[in-house]
Amino acid sequence: MSLFPQHIIARKRDGHRLQAEEIAAFVRGATDGSWADYQLSALLMAIFLRGMTAEETAQLTDAMMRSGVVADLSHVPGIKVDKHSTGGVGDKVSLPLAPMVVACGVPVPMISGRGLGHSGGTLDKLESIPGFQTGLSLDAYRAQVKRIGCALIGQTKDLAPADRTLYALRDVTATVECIPLICASILSKKLAEGIDALVLDVKFGRGAFMKTLPEAKRLAEALVAVGRAGGKQVRALLTAMDEPLGRAVGNAVEVAESIACLRGVGPADLMEVTYALGAHMLILGGVAQTTDEARSRLEASVRDGSALACFREIVTAQGGDARVVDEPERLPAATWQVPLVAESTGFVGDVDAMAVALAALGLGAGRTRAADRIDPAVGVTALVKRGERVERGAPLCVIHANDPTALAKAKAALARAIVVTDEPPTLPPLIAEVLL
């Protein structure tokens, strides 16, 4: 078998199934630089066009996971469970979810990413807390998970380094939307964390990566299959993302809403998704038998304050100003906080998630390029939800801005994104399906 790049590229180009040794050579070339970027890009495009079998995808995931260090958390008691979301608008679930689950006795080692484009990043939200450090070393990560049951950090240079190279190339070669490559990218990092089980939140709709439920289900099924092939317990929830999750979109504003969730006063849709994901994490973590039992435990962790106390402990451990947990007004605040009011009385017929995300992006809440700087203070809060009744002159949302020109553009965009109708819309279920 020839392992020259051009021969491997030609075999996939011609529709052949790649052998494990060929896949390993490709990943090794991405890691050590022995394959040129144009050769890596050529094989990525061949995979995009020809696809991969389930076995090939599992082998690619395993090779990418092993391209760096695989964290060993065997010294941490209990079943280690993480959650991953495919990304959406206002998706701050990880922030309240992790401390809730930890408060119920399940360790949560969580390595997250930054936002790029319309989808926000967990790390950017956390770093809006003054002093919060997401760049822990693997040793510090392992020690913190053992000590307090959770660490919320970014990908280190040692974890799945092949993915950083390949993802950067996918981003500029129009090969992002490929299920085998998505699976390998997500799971190589997650499996390298040292987890035992994983719950996936696969979103669909206008504000999601996958626009339709069938597309999202295909991705979820592939992720579950590959994760299980890697020896992990995996479940997936398919959740709707046509309107933003919760009532806040941004960074500091989403941290504030996450704290509200931990106090039991978060938006109903955000609480529903958080409890649903957390319930399956508790079941996989071996501390609950049914979703009803698990949800009761999660709700109790909010009522008795143990989940909020756990979040405070995480913030303190990672250098953040823990006073924000009790005083969210200490989070970065924008110069202008301007309401957008309804021009007519009626029902909220639509809140376009993608349009809201792009408005927040224009305010400076996200990145269009990886090198862009984020303004942690800007965003949108007090968003109305579909089906709610509004009166003429009542606020539809509040825009947080530090630039008057950006404020004016966001106001115009949000006025188009939020539609008031005479009759209430039919609301589909927030959680469409669960893959066990």
Sequence-distant (6+) residues with CB within 8 A of 110 are 82, 83, 94, 98, 122, 150, 151, 152, 153, 193
Q: For 111-121, what is each residue's pLDDT tens digit? A: 888 876 677 78
CATH class of 333-421: alpha beta
- DSSP state at residue 221: H
- For residue 10, CA distances in Å to 43, 45, 51, 241 come to 8, 11, 14, 39
163 is catalytic: yes
Q: Confirm whether 189 is a catalytic residue.
A: yes
Cβ–Cβ contacts within 10 Å for residue 130, how many?
16
**Which residues have a Cβ under 8 Å from the Cβ of 143 and sit 6 or more positions away?**
none
The CATH number of 5-51 is which of 3.30.930.10, 3.40.50.170, 1.10.3210.10, 1.20.970.10? 1.20.970.10
Determine contact, residues 398/338, Cβ cutoff 8 Å: yes
- The per-residue pLDDT for range 84-94, each reduced to its tens digit, is 999 999 999 99
Query: Using CA atoms, how far apart are residues 88 and 174, in angstroms rounded to an integer?
Result: 20
Which of 125, 164, 170, 247 does the annotation list as catalytic? Answer: 170
> What mean pLDDT is reported for the chain?
96
* Structural domain spans, the chain: 5-51, 81-325, 333-421
82, 163, 242, 269: the active-site residue: 163
For residues 274 and 261, the answer to whether their CB atoms sit within 8 Å is: yes
**What single string gives the DSSP state of each residue in 29-60?**
HHHHS-S-HHHHHHHHHHHHHH---HHHHHHH
Q: Which of the following is catalytic: 12, 84, 118, 297? A: 84
pLDDT (0 to 100) of residue 35: 98
Q: CB neighbours of 296 closer than 8 A, spacing ≥ 6?
A: none
Q: Which residues contact 361 (CB under 8 A, 6 or more apart)?
A: 117, 118, 367, 368
Query: What pLDDT sits at residue 353?
Result: 97
Catalytic residue, chosen from 185, 188, 258, 301, is 185
| Amino acid code (one letter) for 419 | V
3-state SS, residue 84? strand
Which fold, 81-325?
A: Pyrimidine Nucleoside Phosphorylase; Chain A, domain 2 (3.40.1030)
- Looking only at the bridges linking them, the beta strands covering 197-204 and 233-240 are parallel
Active site residue: 83, 125, 164, 189, which one? 189
Query: What single-letter amino acid sits at 208?
Result: A
pTM: 0.95
Q: Tens-of-pLDDT digits for all 436 residues of the chain? A: 789 999 999 999 999 999 999 999 999 999 999 999 999 999 999 999 999 999 999 999 999 999 999 999 999 999 999 999 999 999 999 999 999 999 999 999 998 888 766 777 899 999 999 999 999 999 999 999 999 999 999 988 899 999 999 988 998 899 988 999 999 999 999 999 999 999 999 999 999 989 999 999 999 999 999 999 999 999 999 999 999 999 999 999 999 999 999 999 999 999 999 999 999 999 999 999 999 999 999 999 999 999 999 999 999 999 999 999 999 999 999 999 999 999 999 999 999 999 999 999 999 998 877 778 899 999 999 999 999 999 999 999 999 999 999 999 999 999 999 999 999 999 999 999 999 9
Helices (H), 79-232: 94-103, 122-126, 138-148, 161-172, 179-191, 213-229
